[in-house]
Amino acid sequence: MILIEIGPYHNGMEQEISYQFAPEVWGQGYAKEAIQAVLVFLSEQGTLESIIAETQKKNIRSCRLLEALGFKKRESLIRFHQPQMVYGKRLCKNIKAYKAFNEKLE
């Protein structure tokens, strides 16, 4: 099972990518490949300037995955009674220019 979801983050101002992978596919590269494909799609759409991801600090594999995908550490916090790491990644460098370009095409 592979589940990747894009939705509102807890602060209501940003979008978050979340993912779950069945243990039998851990360590086989599927997570990186699948999430990278979603990030490329989002970048090509140009509708999001950035995206965040939150994972438990003790989930070293997830932290390493996010860093390998170009996410940067933003903050650490306590949520669900556990230390969490929040990462961010820029998707569209100039969302205003992208929107203006698309409006001209319509």
pLDDT at res. 19: 95
State mean pLDDT over 23-39: 92
The model's confidence at residue 1, banded by pLDDT at 50, 70 and 90, is: confident
Q: d(Cα 50, Cα 99) in Å, to the nearest integer?
A: 15
> Structure pTM?
0.83
Angle between helices 60-68 and 30-45 (to 10 degrees): 40
Kindly provide the b/e burial profile for residues 54-86, where b requires at least 16 CB atoms within 10 angstroms of the residue's own CB.
bbeeeeeebbebbeebebeeeeeeeeeeeebbb
Task: Check which CATH number belongs to the domain holding 70 and give it.
Answer: 3.40.630.30
pLDDT at res. 46: 79
Number of domains within the chain: 1
Domain span at residue 53 reads 2-105
Q: Give pLDDT tens digits for 46-99.
A: 788 899 999 999 999 999 999 999 999 999 999 999 999 999 999 976 655 556
